[in-house]
A and B are shown apart, each in its own frame.
Chain A
Amino acid sequence: MAHAPKSNFSNPVVNWIDQRLPIITMMNKEYGSFPTPRNFNSLWNFGAIAMVVLATMIVSGVVLAMHYTNNTALAFDSVERIMRDVNWGWMIRYIHANGASMFFIAVYIHIFRGVYYGSYKAPRELIWIFGVIILLLMMGTAFMGYVLPWGQMSFWGATVITNLFSAIPVVGEHIVTLLWGGFSVDNPTLNRFFALHFLLPFVLIAVVFLHVAALHITGSNNPLGVEPKGPQDTLPFHPYYTTKDLFGVVLFLIFFAAFVFFAPNYLGHPDNYIPADPLVTPAHIVPEWYFLPFYAILRSITFSITLPFTDVVLIPAKLGGVIGMFGSIAILFVLPWLDTSPVRSSRFRPIFKWWVLLWLVPAFLVLGYVGGKPAEQPYVLLGQIATVMYFVFFLALPIIGRIEKPLPLPASIAKPVLGGGSVATGATAQVMEKA
């Protein structure tokens, strides 16, 4: 123990443990005294909210797995048995089914906050990248989870989405066979999806841990986007943000409970109460609401791209749609480098602010709307316009970074006075006043 720091806890048991594994010292450092910007607004609650929803999903999901049967002949009825005969089964299932939606609501708001306040910028790029990985894992997990009840939308959603991989040149068909475990969506598909649906959330936890660990190296961004300059700019995480986060979490749980208890099927699709039937295709195959924007991008590529002046197809429409859909997420990975402005917060970015609020947000909402509509006009055109808007949002960022004149930044968080001068001089312009 020569190199171990001496712990000074009054409780001898705590002290004994902490001497050997300083986990209590660490928790105290990371969640007790951890210096946190003092000026968070309520949008900063959604990280904690997403964490609570993830925990809820895992607990409810493990209980459901104890009663669920992953066989195509039995799955649908086993879910109904949970709803009817398992003690509190209806509540656990409705929590889990609506919890997926709640997770996406929390995470979409969390991502919006990150974009609006430039949280992805240096030195927090890696936190952002872990976040995008979390989003991808969530999507995979949610998609496979929706297949498990083996209703009509489960089956046909799985068929449509897994078929997308066949668009990949050369290896596409093999990937699809591997995903299916055969030549169509069937029992092997259900079995592997169940295994992966159980596994991926734990991978998710590991990435969430990295996301938070990296956050605790750089510290949090804040609504002003200027780094804390001293203790007057921060508050210890506990009790200030533990109480604030918990208040936000409880408010969100009220919203969550309203769905679970009073509108549990509102976000679902009636067709998923019909057992899967490979011989009957539903009139409209619609994914869950949280996939609709990406589904709209997928369907908006209705044309093949050919070599100019020839009939040689370079990218068939299906592959184009798949590239568009995955590209819409992949582009998030490079967002920290597309946005060249040194200013983080939209509060001081007169162009970027409206570029987010009046361009990106409407494009995303229109995509969500179009994704739920049948693939016919005018929705196809609307979806194509919104798809272009979505990608243009990112591609125009280097230009905006160049032409935009940011407003003067405050000297510090504790003194958010517009102290004249530009970004460069702002930091040194004002003498700090004691908070």
Chain B
Amino acid sequence: MRRLRNLIAAGVLSVAGLTAGAQAAGDAVVPPAQEWAHGGVNSFLSFFKGYDYAAVQRGFQVYKEVCAACHSMHLLHYRNLTDVGFTEEEVKAIAASVEVTDGPNDQGEMFTRPGVPADKFKSPFPNVQAAAAANGGKAPPDLSLMVKARSHFEDYVYAILTGYEEAPADSHLPPGANYNKYFPGHAIAMPMPLFENGVTYADGTKATVPQMAHDVVTFLAWAAEPKLEERRRVGIMAITFLVVFAGIMYAAKRRVWADVH
């Protein structure tokens, strides 16, 4: 399915490229397809595939230690992490490691307390304006739905994380921008986020840039589509039921129509 779509996309792009000529140049590059244990959030033919929880957990570590410095994930709660293999004790510890502002209390005052699993992921900035002010005028996007909010899904986010290059001589990057092969227009505000051994994985996995990118994108895919496995599991049951039902209905219809020719 994805190969077919890529083929169609490539065909359409080549036609567009031929006709639109130079206009197509300089635009976004199609990100190369990667292998995902879950097949991809938008993959049709991955009926029995689910998330690689070890990768999701490693990806959460990358998010927490690298991405979370600038990017919020306000649709997630710490409690959600039990769905990907963290124990309740681990989740309590993760939540307790942040200070959350709560209140007002019965004195009418805001106060801080350690986080609990029911809290949302703590955002790095108190509000969008603060996030924008600290990042050159534009707030870093929330990552909760990032994988579903871009065409090419996981492949695109992975390509962005690994697509930083030396800017070609003829590129006119605005000040403060970085060159990324896969970003539309190539000038991206986010500096290259991942460096070799940027995190130390507890399970001994070597923290190369492709490894960290793959892990954090797996985590972001789960964050964007947390019900993917349940969806596919229910889908198999629903379609099996409907196919059997269709067979019964076909037999009933044949039987009823037997005397009509």
Contact = CB atoms under 8 A, between A and B. Distances in A.
B177 interface: no
B75 A84 contact: yes
B242 A250 contact: yes
Contact of B144 (A80, A251, A261, A283): A80
Contacts of B25: none
25 contacts: A80-B75, A80-B144, A91-B231, A239-B256, A240-B260, A243-B253, A243-B256, A244-B257, A246-B253, A247-B249, A247-B253, A253-B242, A254-B243, A254-B246, A258-B239, A261-B236, A261-B239, A262-B46, A262-B235, A265-B41, A265-B148, A270-B150, A274-B145, A274-B149, A377-B19
Contacts of A261: 231-232, 234-236, 238-239
Interface residues of A, number: 36
Given A77-B75, A84-B226, A265-B41, A257 B242 contact: yes
Contacts of B239: 254, 257-258, 261
Contacts of B260: 38, 235, 240
A317 interface: no
Nearest to B242: A254
Contacts of B232: 261-262
A260 B256 contact: no
A78 to B, nearest CB: 11
A13 to B, nearest CB: 29
A231 to B, nearest CB: 13
A21 B82 CA distance: 58
B192 to A, nearest CB: 23
Interface string A251-289: 101100110111111100011011000000001000000
Nearest to B224: A273
Contacts of A253: 242
Interface residues of B, number: 43
Which secondary structure dominates where chain B touches chain A?
helix
Contact of A247 (B145, B226, B235, B250): B250
A378 interface: yes
Interface of A: 38, 77, 80, 83-84, 90-91, 94, 235, 239-240, 243-244, 246-247, 250-251, 253-254, 257-258, 260-266, 270-271, 273-274, 283, 376-378
Given A263-B42, A266-B44, 19 more contacts: A80-B75, A244-B253, A244-B257, A247-B253, A250-B246, A253-B242, A258-B44, A260-B235, A261-B232, A261-B234, A261-B239, A262-B45, A262-B46, A263-B44, A265-B41, A266-B42, A270-B151, A270-B153, A274-B145
Contacts of A262: 44-47, 232, 235
Nearest to B152: A270
A80 B76 CA distance: 10
Q: Which 3 residue pairs are nearest across A and B when measured between Cβ atoms?
A: A261-B235, A273-B149, A247-B249
A273 B148 contact: yes
A90 B235 CA distance: 12
Given A90-B227, A265-B42, A250 B249 contact: yes
